[in-house]
Structure 1
């Protein structure tokens, strides 16, 4: 393990937090949050490499796996869970795994992240292969669960990426595509659910949204493959068809419900 400064553990630039009034606390948190998007901008080239690698593999039936612990693991699961309703892909194409299993989504599981072998065991249950891509998420860049999973994946020829907030960390050095987002010290020293977590969420948004656009799950700027799982989404899809096909509301709604998605309805009418 090389020497590096663990930025996520460095003292906050703000002190005596308990002496601040509510408005001062909120304004200073917001001041720190404004740094996050600019830090993410610095790693766009690396995110682009990951998206391109995913696109190539997705066309061949590959999948995207996220592994993480605590906040990082939950963010991966959140991103994965949004893919089916937003883009109409099966749940099996983007999968989020967290140290400690599903119980850890809501409640921390003690020492689960310290098990270096468990991630690979979890991935084997999904029959991970060379067609897939594994993204490890760890603000510290030192989480054993994540590092162990990436080590085994690399041995099996699987493309790996690592999202961390510590440049030079073990995760950044291990991953084929290191995505090291330096957001600086947290407002509350070491609380990586704050800026670090926000930066991870922004990166995950970019990865899957760009990927879904690249593989044809978006038309123009519309979610034409979204699942029609509630009244709001049916109404949204209906309005997409009204705009795209010059139909009235009733015509568009009938067409949408008949074919089950905006894309299928558009293709059917054009034929």
Structure 2
């Protein structure tokens, strides 16, 4: 292959596996301050995507499938910002487990990364919720945006535990496959295209992303406290009872566990077994 071909061609899956391990070591050893700041930014980036999605889905008169497709495409904004502008997102960081499986980082290092990033993402999302509340954004389109936010969050807290878990699993399989292809990319255009279809796909199919839900359910709770939005939604108080802290946790816990199982078990460890794992050593096999 010519030098030019090596420059433009995507990394092979085996090369990506090596790259994911190396990046995983860097992520696990990242100093606290940049890790926290990048985690906060990721929470805000995903919240921007949810805001964009909410506007697009407001008063959508298109067919169901087409409206879901367009909603998914615009939601990809958040993940494009994460991979191109740079941020630390919990769901994608489940791939860091590959570095742990190869014993290049400790279990404590893995938990440190996941814990700080997850908490930072949550704070970034919740700060965005507060700023959105102050902005009057929910009143746009004669409270139509607020109604969409309300109904979107309500649909999430009404999922059963099993539904939330499995949808979380499916979601992060697609997110981590998108991240995997980003690692194979050599240009910004490559990264955008790698992200676009896995992310739009999980959104269109109604799968569940824990960090997105850290914005979408709390903003629905804020909308439920606004009588003008509730009146415009034509929902009564009894229908909104699930939008509370218990409902939030009832969604986030199974969705987060599903995200972990999907990213770790169905992507990271699957590729680890194919491209990294070399089997028991001869010493251990004697």
Whose helix fraction is larger, Structure 1's or Structure 2's?
Answer: 2
TM-score normalized by the length of structure 1: 0.25
Whose strand fraction is larger, Structure 1's or Structure 2's?
Answer: 1
TM-score normalized by the length of structure 2: 0.24
